[in-house]
A = this chain, B = another copy of it.
Amino acid sequence: MSQVGKSDKTTSMRDAIAEFVTDGATVSLEGFTHLIPTAAGHEIIRQGRRDLTIARMTADVVTDQLIAGDCVSRLISSFVGNSTAGSLGELRRRVEAGALAFEEYSHYGMICRYLAGAQRLPFYPLRSYAGSDVPGINPGIRKVTSPYPAPDGGEEQIYVVPPLNPDVTIVQAQRADRSGNTQVWGLTGIQAEAVYAARKAIVVVEEVVADEVVRSDPNRTVIPAHAVDAVVECPRGAHPAFVQGYYDRDGEFYREWSRISGDPDRLRTWLDEWVLGTADHSEYVAKLGEQRWSDLAVGEAWSEPVNYGRRL
């Protein structure tokens, strides 16, 4: 009774971006501090995509790089900052100059947009925004009257957000099998919802693993194959973000980014050297140097296995 065919969706980063990220597209890049699809962002810059709408809850370094690469005309986000390390120079300059359209939400507003998108709902209700100035500058945030009485017997109103259905969602993960069953541990973020909300999905992984590895622990599969269109193996693809169990966050890079991005010339030079000047992510990784990767190496803390059982 088992499945016979199993399609192989592995491809190169270059081909995946060329096929699924087109000028003018809405592209979701998710990953909350952990598993940020940086390498995919760099390839978008290399291929010179234009007029993208980028959806990303925590618009951080890779978003700033995409903006500096002139790829982005519109940003949908709930946090535009360089984590605890400072500012995003290019993003701030363009927003302050009115040169980048910005749809502002809260974190849960973004989460609910992905939930509505993944669930094919016309809207998603949430208990935020009441009394905030955000709905005043974002007409996408509206109100609905509940058809049930409030606790006090009166009428109850609640804010809602519209679905977000990206043309393509790109996420980074620890591992997947060749057909796209994707396993994540540590922070799992909003990646599954962003993938299900999208028309197409690219999964970038540290390792493509044998089917048996995935199948030994099906509860670890956060995104199943049927929701995935391309699988790209790209080790160290999240740098400077971290991948739980693979490498640590490059805190020095984040701090450095505030200085780089604060100076437009320095930023241009950085992009020319590190992104446009590298053929692909493996060159970027090599250019960072072995010492840096050795500093980011992590030790071992293995999960205890669980028994899924077998009928005797």
A164 CB, min distance to chain B CBs, angstroms: 12
| B148→A309 contact, CB < 8 A | no
**Cβ of A226 under 8 Å from chain B:** no
| B219→A308 contact, CB < 8 A | no
Bound Cα distance from A219 to B162, whole angstroms: 30
| B185→A308 contact, CB < 8 A | yes
| B299→A158 contact, CB < 8 A | no
Bound Cα distance from A211 to B183, whole angstroms: 25
**Cβ of A14 under 8 Å from chain B:** no
The residue on B at minimum CB distance from A149 is: B122
The stretch from A71-79, A138-146, A192-200, A267-275 touching chain B is A138-146
Which A285-312 residues have C-beta < 8 A from chain B? 297-312
**Cβ of A8 under 8 Å from chain B:** no
Bound Cα distance from A266 to B143, whole angstroms: 56
| B308→A217 contact, CB < 8 A | no
| B304→A305 contact, CB < 8 A | yes
A77 CB, min distance to chain B CBs, angstroms: 21
**Cβ of A258 under 8 Å from chain B:** no
* A-B contacts, 12 listed (Cβ < 8 Å): A121-B126, A122-B146, A143-B147, A144-B145, A144-B147, A185-B219, A246-B309, A298-B307, A298-B309, A299-B310, A300-B309, A303-B305
Residues of A within 8 A of B (CB): 120-127, 142-148, 150, 156, 158, 160, 162, 174, 183, 185-186, 188, 213, 216-217, 219-220, 244-246, 248, 297-312
Contacts A245-B309, A301-B309, A302-B307 aside, 20 further interface pairs with beta carbons under 8 A come to A121-B125, A121-B158, A122-B125, A122-B148, A122-B150, A122-B156, A122-B158, A123-B125, A123-B146, A144-B144, A144-B147, A217-B304, A217-B306, A220-B303, A245-B306, A245-B308, A298-B307, A299-B312, A301-B307, A305-B305
